A and B are shown apart, each in its own frame.
Chain A
């Protein structure tokens, strides 16, 4: 019985440690170009997800199919999501010159995404929902560029 109890205690301790470790979300360094490219692709996917979410929110907000506070929350979270992905990627040390070029390509795209999402969020917070489709128009070509970036580095 004591052995069984000890086994349960060990299992419980493992669950606690893993749960705590998983919540920390550590940033692992990129030691090779392949590793860095993989992180760049993941970041672009995250940005694409936020941009596409914002385009959908702008569409429903613009045609009066959603409430102002709801649209504002969706857009604000999309902006925060892109900013978080961008800052996490910026903190990764590029391992070589090739990675430097990749970094500047993606950083330009992320910067445009952040700017576009901020404009949408500001308009939504001001209650200017009818302007959202117009403000979201540049995000269409940007999302296609992000898709091409992801496909190139798949």
Chain B
């Protein structure tokens, strides 16, 4: 019974923790602009993160080693250092977006400018990392993030034409007035939003922090195979809400505030309050994960003591990296750079950088020296190889598409 409770809680946490500012922005923007015609990119991204997270969770549980530890061993110190630089840049960029997302959610509740909330939001993130236990932190914000389910309820209450939505999703086409490069640029944005690298750093490092072993492989499977698809369902709900309300009116999503309008229309003040709580919890949870992921990746590469389970004085350099990443987030956030643009760039560049961490994990997941009898099966290898090719194509195509479409404008 206790184990079942733990698994259920893990799944719920995975659902609530799946959505972040990148998912909220990318799915709402594309729903408003392309209807449901890019739903396939979300499905592709969710399957991708399932494959990636399952492999890295299994590797962490069996080898007791986290992602960057293995990246350095597999790629060598020099190449892994460049890999670390790229991954850290994208993780900190995502952290900037998440901290700004927390500030924007607080602005929606208070009408106080988000710039004033940024230092407070970052301070709160640091305090939670410093004081709250790993498991409590992960579960509290994952479960609170479930409030975002209100978006799916709003879609149902808006009484849409389900056949029209299904038709758009199942027969994808480029809407008139939009070019193929822009369509594929946004497909990459959705793919990157579903498959952000920090999710895997956090997932695998969290597994090591919680001392997973072979007996936790079923928990790993439940989180990944049930929690992530349900999280992906919430992403599709965000897309559908925008497709139903915004697309017919010619509204483009440029602000987080707009995402609450369909909920307000369908469910009134209670729905809106839950949506704002959901925005706050999902972005705050993701800010914790990205801040910790910055510390995890640097500390694992250099072989420093890392993790929340160690007292701060025993993992001082790990906590210093987390603090520096948060100070960067405050500094960049306070320049008044558009947080939605930062989010867009972070998810697109995430997609471009995915092979850097996917490849070493894929190699280790096939290494019997590390994995024993838990190496990838043939089916898993076939799917993982398909994604390796896909991620390489996406990585090569991202920058040219970004330039050709002026970042999707």
Contacts and interface: CB of A to CB of B under 8 A. Distances in A.
A, B from the same assembly: yes
Interface of A: 1-2, 4-5, 8-9, 11-12, 14-16, 18-19, 22-23, 25, 45-46, 48-49, 52-53, 56-57, 59-60, 64-70, 72-74, 77, 81, 125, 147, 150, 154
Contacts of A19: 93, 345, 349
A143 B7 CA distance: 51
Contacts of B345: 19, 22-23
Contact of B407 (A11, A22, A46, A48): A22
B4 interface: no
7 contacts: A19-B349, A53-B251, A53-B258, A65-B264, A67-B272, A69-B110, A72-B111
A86 B255 CA distance: 18
A18 B107 contact: no
A114 to B, nearest CB: 16
Contact of B245 (A16, A56, A64, A69): A56
Given A18-B403, A23-B341, A8 B265 contact: no
B249 interface: yes
Contact of A12 (B85, B265, B269, B403): B85
Given A5-B82, A12-B89, A49-B252, 16 more contacts: A14-B399, A15-B399, A18-B402, A22-B402, A22-B406, A23-B337, A25-B341, A45-B250, A57-B261, A64-B268, A65-B268, A66-B272, A67-B269, A69-B110, A70-B257, A73-B108
A125 B89 CA distance: 39
A45 B79 contact: no
Contacts of B268: 64-66
Contacts of B407: 22
A56 B252 CA distance: 13
B86 A12 contact: yes
Could you say which of B85, B109, B261, B265 has the most chain A C-beta atoms within 10 Å of its C-beta? B261
B83 interface: yes
Interface of B: 76, 78-79, 82-83, 85-86, 89, 93, 107-111, 177, 245, 249-252, 254-255, 257-258, 260-261, 264-265, 268-269, 272-273, 276, 337, 341-342, 345, 349, 352-353, 399, 402-403, 406-407
B265 A70 contact: no
A56 B246 CA distance: 10
A102 B255 CA distance: 29
Contacts of A14: 399
Contacts of B353: 15
Contact of B276 (A1, A22, A65, A70): A70
Contacts of A25: 341
Given A1-B76, A19-B349, A73-B111, A49 B82 contact: no
A129 B79 CA distance: 59
Contact of B254 (A18, A49, A65): A49
A154 B250 CA distance: 14
B31 to A, nearest CB: 14
Contacts of B342: 23
Contacts of A56: 245, 249, 251, 261, 265
B257 A66 contact: no
B78 A5 contact: yes
Nearest to A10: B82
Contacts of B276: 70
Contacts of A65: 264-265, 268-269, 272
B158 to A, nearest CB: 13
Contact of B261 (A53, A64, A68, A150): A53
A1 B111 contact: no
B337 A4 contact: no
Contacts of A64: 268-269
Given A49-B250, A65-B268, A16 B261 contact: no
A106 B111 CA distance: 31
Could you say which of B177, B257, B349, B402 has the most chain A C-beta atoms within 10 Å of its C-beta? B257
A95 to B, nearest CB: 20
Contacts of A12: 82, 85-86, 89
B116 to A, nearest CB: 13
Nearest to A80: B255
A11 B251 CA distance: 36
B108 to A, nearest CB: 5
Given A5-B78, A23-B345, A74-B258, A69 B399 contact: no
B109 A69 contact: yes
B82 A8 contact: yes
